[in-house]
Amino acid sequence: MPTILSIQSSARHENSHSRDLSKELIAKLNKSGNFDVQERDLTQTIPHVNEKWLGANWTPKTDRNAEQKAHLELSDKLVEQLKAADVLVIGAPIYNFSVPAALKAWIDMVCRAGDTFKYTETGPKGLLEGKKAYVVIASGGVPVDSPYDFATPYLRQVLGFIGITDVEIIAADGLVANEAASLAKANAEIERLAA
């Protein structure tokens, strides 16, 4: 059974537009019930990369000791979860012009040389090809893909870096100025993409 992996990064659990729109998208994509849907809430225990993590990550797998393996245990699980997914739905509010810290922490945990990308003579190559990603962006005032939006191009770049190049953006921007119109536009895009 194919898998949809929902990655949610909003600090809000109630009244979160990125979470609500992601749920709506997943419901439409899975209307026939053919997908196994998994959710990863990034506001729950995603640590930041630290010196011990880096040391363990750059130690060859065959040389890692028990302590190093323990430092990478969550990261390994996140990588395996991502590898197993066929479709990725990322709910990402724009905080201060970029992605939430929790989403950046997850990205740092899953961008792993030898696991999700590799170095070649011509530069890095993503290893997660053949997956589809939907990025649901919610923004109070920063227009998506404007010069002030550092979240959307960053997410496109990092997904492409690990091999996920089939990326659709669903934008609910301008929520402060006109919430109803912004949500209507995002819902219309969901209907179009899930048709």
17 appears as a binding residue in the annotation: yes
What crossing angle do the helices spanning 101-110 and 73-84 adopt, rounded to 10°? 90
- In angstroms, the Cα distances linking 168 to 106, 132, 177 are 20, 8, 24
How far is residue 128's CA from residue 176's CA, in Å, rounded to a whole number?
A: 36
16 appears as a binding residue in the annotation: yes
How far is residue 145's CA from residue 167's CA, in Å, rounded to a whole number?
A: 14
18 appears as a binding residue in the annotation: yes
How far is residue 118's CA from residue 125's CA, in Å, rounded to a whole number?
A: 5
Question: Element (H or E) spanning 37, and its range?
Answer: strand 36-41
Question: Element (H or E) spanning 119, and its range?
Answer: strand 117-120
Provide the β-strand partners of residue 38: 5
Residue 21 phi/psi, 5-degree rounding, is -70, -35
Binding-site positions read: 10, 16-18
Binding-site positions for FMN read: 10, 16-18
